[in-house]
A and B are shown apart, each in its own frame.
Chain A
Amino acid sequence: MSLLKPFSKLPDLNTANILLVENEEQFQQNLADTLVEETAVTVNVRLAKSLPLPMENDESRPRIDLVVFIINLTSDKSFESAKASLKYLDPGYFLGKVCFVATNARHASVRTGCLDALRQLAALLHCPLLFAEDQSPEGATSSARRLLTILKVASGLVPNTTALYLSSLTRCTMPPDIDQPSFD
């Protein structure tokens, strides 16, 4: 069992490395294609189905600045796999270098508890939880842009701020149960 560590390797100049973990291996490819188009910094994308990562290419792998878990809310397996993968991350990652992306949140077949469970998990780990429209190209582009915003901060490319600071602003909170909000 190999633990992925945030600070075990040296960063490269003007480079950001992102690891996209998705059990279904579908949306990550779209995101990756958009992410590498960034020109201001060199973005390297690593795609994985789950953690831990294989030992063979451990040496050649650059330092991972941001780990993104992509979770399809219509599939229980997707959530379970992400949850199981979490334990292969060094605790240092949870200081602002982990992020969850939920897809299909507006799908009718999402089980009622699933979204809440994911929120709970993200809130517990102090991680941001983004929602993505993975079905449309515009949705993929916009999600990639948002990830890039976080990635730049997480890899230390934005002056005046740190990953921990940003995550304290964006981390997930549990929303109230709002069906018909009553103000009494």
Chain B
Amino acid sequence: MATQLNLSDSDSSDLSDQSVFTRRSNRSLRIAEQERRKKEEEDPFVLALKYFSEVEAGTPATGNDELENNLVRVEKVAFSRGLSPEAISVMLDFAMSLRMGSSPCARVLKCLLPASVVPQEAVVRAIVWLTVRKLPISTQVLFMKWVLTVFDMIDAKDKLRAIYGFIFSFVTDENLCPFICHLLYLLTRKENVRVFRVRKLLEQQSKLGRQPYLLYLLSLYKVFCPELVTLSIPSRMKSGFKNHISPWKSALIAVQKRNDMQVASSISLAFAVRDKTASRKRKHAHLDLPSLNPVTIKEPQAAQSSSRKLVPMQQIQSFAQLLQNMHRIELPAQMGSLLGSSLALQYLDCVQDESALLRLNFWLGYTLHEEFLFCSDGGANKNPEEALQFLNRLLSVQHFLQEGFNSSDAFMYKFLNVWDGSLLRPQILGLLSNIPVIPSSQIKTLLFDPLMQLFFTSSLFFKCGLIECLNHMLLKWLTWHSAYALEDDLDISLNSHTSINITLSGFKDSVMELVHFVGRLASVGLQLEDCHSLLLSFILDFYETVCDTFLKFGLPLVVMPPPGVFYPAFFAADPVSVDRLAFIMHRYKVNLTSAKRQEKVTEQGFHISRQTFREFNRYQVFLVNCLWNSNMCYPEADVRLSDELLAKSGVPQFSTRFDLIHHPAFVSYALDFHHKCWPGRKDTDLNSIKQSKPWNWYLEYLFTQGFDGLKDFVQNSINQRVMMAGDGCDNVTQSQKLGSAPHIKQPLLS
């Protein structure tokens, strides 16, 4: 016994203050101190504590009235206010040293309810006592349960970690093993994972069978050092650490409530994890994030703990403090609590602590898995509000960190396969859009197959939601690309924390796959939904991202929309869609021309396939011919019906039906313009707008109506002089720049 606490020369409260007070020679303080001492000497509680610290070894316990009286006194205080750190230290020492035999031991342990914190020295000493004296097994177990219950109230863990190997040696004890494993689980850090320990655990496993607590600890070891643990951990592990029906829980909560202590939050930390791991016994609030509210620590204790090396995360209250203590932060036992604190997230983000992320991922993976994938009741009695808040929190964390977690991504891949498409849709789509780039070899099975089944069997709103989500996903991928791509090295990191790299061409393949996939969804979706304008709008949103990949994100890739998107957008009855299509085509052109230019400048640059140019030109020619030249039926057009058939339809001048005047989207504007231009005229003749001057006025009129896309398109794709003079200078030169394009005919302006 190294530091036997002795209360004979100083009273109990002095203990904690020793370090501070002994150094001070302030008189007034000393006087106050003496007065307090006098008062406390008469306090029966202090006397009781004194009794327990001084009682001689071997004093009989049975029939000892003095012991009984003192014990009742301590119990009264414990159950009403909780015990001070010093009292805990004294009582724990009394119990574990078996000074009066083992009979009062359990009773003492049951009343060890901390009012604020538990000094770690006391715990360390008690663990040492475990080996020295023969405690009854039930008492040993009770003690371990107590340690686990108050784990988060232990003021520091450095000394506990220092005796990690010592604690580990108890693993061979069959009775203590489950509890020791749980304690080790809470204490383990990367440097603790050693080959010989792994071997010991495996040995234990072969002896006791595949016990969940051993598997849990091993899986944590595997997280830290995958190379040491070759064991395969089942993906569907049932609760690892049992929810020990701890005799302290209710009493502790009652004490905390009565004291109205701020530490309450740290208690909930301690209980939250137990609730989490024992999913079957859970009744409520299992998805509550353990909170990380700072514990108000008394001055002397803060001084004490700063002399130690580590500062618990809970004590960090401001960003300035975080910066000061950056190098010696002690992470909480429940990694989940990090999600609730922005300071902790700041820490995670800047420190890039691998083990912290590993632990967080580990926790998150299991939580998501147990709560959403394989919940014990199939989600029947689930409080949806709770799940909602949890996922929202996760989403906001991901936004804060600007990246997802491995474990939540893996969860998403699995969840998509059993999703009904409506459960927590906004949150799931949100998480989905955070998924990092998937290599093109896997993207189909992981993402496209499940999404395709969901897309085509779900409602219009789901379709819109999914297209929007995929748009966000693409945007994020492109942003990652522009942020992480190294100039000289084509490798880009998928995610700042993982070592998985992907080559530029691999990344391009993935993006291309994604764009093609959305193209497929969009074409068929529009067909099934009868070209619904809402769906079309989301699809055009997506192509607004796609058309600018080169200029906005520096990705040398241009993918044209499929005909199934282009033509429905062009033939849409609302002018907004046509206008946006024109804008997209304009951006494609700007991107393609600058890509072409760069190709010429840098020799080794990239190559955009002729197919892309050809597609672009075909669309461009179609647009110009339809809108401008009033000639829908030109020989090379994609959409072609025989003239006889069209003639039979009885539509006069069918070829001009989709020019800027007669297009169903614009005809109302044309009429309005006609009315304004020739107010006196009785019979409207829209064709009269086609004359050179009214045509230009009409264009001006359209541009003032807010059709900026159309404006950009007309001004850039159709030669200015054509517009201004209308004397038919060709714009072949422009389109020829974009590869060998078919000849665009001159605008048929008279």
Q: What residues of chain A have their CB less than 8 Å away from a CB belonging to chain B?
A: 74, 102, 104-110, 112, 115, 128-133, 135-136, 138-139, 142-143, 145-146, 149-150, 153, 158-161, 166, 169-173, 175-176, 178-181, 183-184
CA distance A106 to B418 in the complex (A): 7
Contacts of B637 in A (CB 8 A): none
Beta-carbon contact of A178 and B413 below 8 Å? yes
Stretch among B82-90, B141-149, B287-295, B372-380 lining the A interface: B372-380
Q: Mark the stretch among B390-398, B420-428, B582-590 that contacts chain A.
A: B420-428
**Distance of A132 Cα from B439 Cα, bound (Å):** 30
CB atoms of A172 and B453 under 8 A apart? yes
Set of chain A residues within 8 Å of B374, measured between Cβ atoms: 106-108, 110
In contact, A146 and B378 (Cβ under 8 angstroms): no
Instruction: Specify which chain A residues have a CB less than 8 angstroms from the CB of B236 in the assembled complex.
Output: 108, 112
- Chain B 408-426, CB-CB to A under 8 Å as 1, else 0, gives 0010011001111111000
Contacts A135-B380, A183-B500; A128 near B418 (Cβ below 8 A): no
A106 and B459 contact, CB distance less than 8 A: no
Residues of the B chain whose Cβ atoms lie less than 8 Å from the Cβ of A184: 500
The 8 Å CB contact of B449, one of A131, A175, A183, is: A175
Give chain A nearest CB distance to B58 CB in angstroms. Answer: 54
A107 touches B457 (CB 8 A): no
Q: Which residue of A lies closest to B370 (CB)?
A: A108
A142 to B458, CA, bound (A): 9
Ranked 8 nearest A-B pairs via Cβ = A142-B422, A107-B378, A105-B418, A135-B380, A108-B374, A173-B449, A108-B376, A169-B456
Known: A176-B446, A183-B439. A146 touches B457 (CB 8 A): yes
Q: How far is the CA of A161 from the CA of B374 in the complex (A)?
A: 37
In the bound complex, do residue A142 and residue B372 qualify as a contact, i.e. CB atoms below 8 Å apart? no
Q: Which residues of A contact B438 (CB under 8 A)?
A: 183
Residues in B whose Cβ lies below 8 Å from that of A161: 527-528
Which residues from 399 to 450 on chain B have a C-beta closer than 8 Å to any C-beta of chain A? 406, 410, 413-414, 417-423, 438-439, 442, 445-446, 449-450
Q: With contacts A160-B527, A169-B452, A178-B413 known, is A139 near B375, CB below 8 A?
A: no
Distance, CA A146 to CA B450, complexed state (A): 15
- In the complex, what residues of B have CB within 8 A of residue A136's CB? 379, 384
What mask results when residues 343 to 384 of chain B are scored 1 for a CB within 8 Å of chain A, else 0? 000000000000000000000000000001111111110001
* Chain B, range 102-132, C-beta contacts under 8 Å to A: none
**Interface contact A135-B378, CB-CB below 8 Å:** yes
Size category, B interface: 35 or more
Prevailing SS type, chain A contact patch = loop
Q: Nearest Cβ distance between residue B280 and chain A, in whole angstroms?
A: 8
Query: Do B457 and A178 touch across chains, with their CB atoms under 8 A apart?
Result: no
Q: Which residues of B contact A143 (CB under 8 A)?
A: 420
Q: Which of A115, A180, A184 has the most CB of B within 10 A?
A: A180
Residue of A nearest to B452 (CB): A169
Starting from the known contacts A131-B420, A146-B458, A169-B456, 11 additional A-B residue pairs (CB-CB under 8 Å) come to: A107-B378, A108-B374, A108-B378, A129-B453, A136-B384, A149-B457, A149-B459, A150-B457, A160-B530, A180-B406, A183-B500
Q: Which residues of chain B have C-beta atoms less than 8 A from A158's C-beta?
A: 528
Distance of A135 from chain B, by nearest CB (Å) = 4
Q: How far is the CA of A169 from the CA of B521 in the complex (A)?
A: 10
- Contact between chains at A130 and B420 (CB < 8 Å): yes
Bound Cα distance A133, B453 (Å): 16
B238: chain A residues at CB < 8 Å are 108
Of the candidates A107, A132, A159, A184, the one having the most CB atoms from chain B within 10 angstroms of its own CB is A107
A133 and B420 contact, CB distance less than 8 A: yes
Q: Considering the complex, give the chain A residue whose CB is closest to the CB of B425.
A: A142
CB contacts (< 8 Å) of A74 on chain B: these are: 378
A159 to B453 alpha-carbon distance, docked (Å): 20
Contact residues in A for B418 (Cβ distance below 8 Å) = 102, 105-106, 115, 131
Give the distance in Å from the alpha carbon of A176 to the alpha carbon of B447 in the complex.
Answer: 11
Chain B residues near A130 (CB, 8 Å)? 420, 453, 457
Residues of the A chain whose Cβ atoms lie less than 8 Å from the Cβ of B406? 180
Sample (18) of A-B pairs whose CB atoms are under 8 Å apart? A106-B373, A108-B279, A108-B375, A108-B376, A128-B453, A128-B457, A133-B420, A138-B423, A146-B459, A149-B459, A161-B528, A166-B528, A170-B452, A170-B453, A173-B445, A176-B442, A181-B442, A183-B439
Q: Could you say which residues of chain A place their CB within 8 Å of the CB of B453?
A: 128-130, 170-173
Q: Is B235 engaged at the interface, CB distance under 8 Å to the other chain?
A: yes
Which chain B residues border A181 with CB–CB below 8 Å? Answer: 410, 413, 442, 446
In the complex, what residues of B have CB within 8 A of residue A107's CB?
374-379
Chain B contacts for A135, CB-based, 8 A: 378-380
Q: Which residues of A contact B423 (CB under 8 A)?
A: 133, 138-139
Chain B nearest CB: distance from A154 CB in Å? 12
Given contacts A133-B379, A158-B528, A161-B527, contact A175 B457 (CB under 8 A): no
Candidates B373, B377, B420; contact of A139 at CB < 8 Å: B420
| A106 with B235: CB separation less than 8 A | no
Inter-chain CA distance A134–B609, complex, in Å, is 50
Which of chain B's residues have a CB closer than 8 A to the CB of A170?
A: 452-453, 456-457
Nearest-CB residue, chain A, relative to B279: A108
User: Which of B372, B457, B458 sits near A106, CB closer than 8 Å?
Assistant: B372
A178 B414 Cβ-Cβ under 8 A: yes
B442 partner, pick from A109, A112, A169, A183, beta carbons under 8 A:
A183
Min CB–CB distance B579 → chain A (angstroms): 26
Closest chain A residue, CB of each to CB of B444: A173
Q: Is B297 an interface residue (CB 8 A)?
A: no
Q: B439: which A residues are within 8 A, CB to CB?
A: 183
A176 CB to closest chain B CB (Å) equals 5
CA distance A169 to B456 in the complex (A): 7
0/1 per residue, B508-533, Cβ < 8 Å to A? 00000000000000001001101000
Q: Please report the C-alpha to C-alpha distance between residue A170 and residue B379 in the assembled complex, in whole angstroms.
A: 26
Interface residues of B in 472-511 (CB under 8 A from A): 494, 500, 502
* A54 CA / B374 CA spacing, docked (Å): 38
Give CA–CA (A107, B280) in the complex, Å. 12
Minimum C-beta distance from B360 to chain A (A) = 15
CA distance A149 to B525 in the complex (A): 12
User: Which residues from chain A contact B372 at a C-beta distance below 8 Å?
Assistant: 106
Cβ-closest chain A residue relative to B413: A178
| A176 and B445 contact, CB distance less than 8 A | yes
For B528, the chain A residues whose CB sits under 8 A away are 153, 158, 160-161, 166
Q: A133-B423, A135-B379 known; A175 and B450 CB under 8 Å?
A: yes
Complex alpha-carbon distance, A173 and B446, angstroms: 11
Taking a contact as CB atoms under 8 Å apart, the answer to whether B446 and A178 are in contact is yes
A130-B457, A139-B422, A149-B458 are contacts. A106–B379 as well, Cβ < 8 Å? yes
Query: Which residue from chain B places its CB closest to the CB of A105 in the assembled complex?
Result: B418
Distance in angstroms from A150 CB to nearest chain B CB is: 6
Q: Mark B178-215, 1 if CB is under 8 A from A, else 0.
A: 00000000000000000000000000000000000000
Contact check, B375 vs A175: say whether CB atoms are below 8 A apart. no
Least Cβ–Cβ distance between A153 and chain B, in angstroms: 8
CA A169 – CA B554 in complex, angstroms? 34
B421 in contact with A146 (CB, 8 Å): yes
CB distance from A68 to the nearest CB of B (A): 12
Give the Cβ gap from B210 to chain A, nearest Cβ, in Å.
16
CB contact under 8 A between A106 and B378, given known A149-B459, A150-B457, A170-B452: yes
Distance to closest chain A CB from B728 (angstroms): 41
In the bound complex, what is the Cα–Cα distance between A173 and B453 (angstroms)? 9
Tell me the complex Cα distance, A129–B418, Å.
10
Q: Once bound together, how far apart are the Cα atoms of A27 and B373, in whole Å?
A: 21
Assembly CA distance A160 to B525 (angstroms)? 11
Q: Given A135-B379, A138-B422, A145-B459 in contact, is the A180-B410 Cβ separation under 8 Å?
A: yes
> Which B residues are in CB contact (< 8 Å) with A138?
422-423
Contacting residue for B235 out of A102, A133, A173, A179, CB 8 A: A179
Within the complex, what minimum Cβ distance (angstroms) separates B524 from chain A? 6
Please give the distance in Å from B415's CB to the nearest CB on chain A: 8
A117 to B449 alpha-carbon distance, docked (Å): 18
CB distance from B640 to the nearest CB of A (A): 19
List, in ascending order, chain A residues with CB within 8 A of B494's CB. Answer: 183
CB-CB < 8 A to A142: which residues of B? 420-422
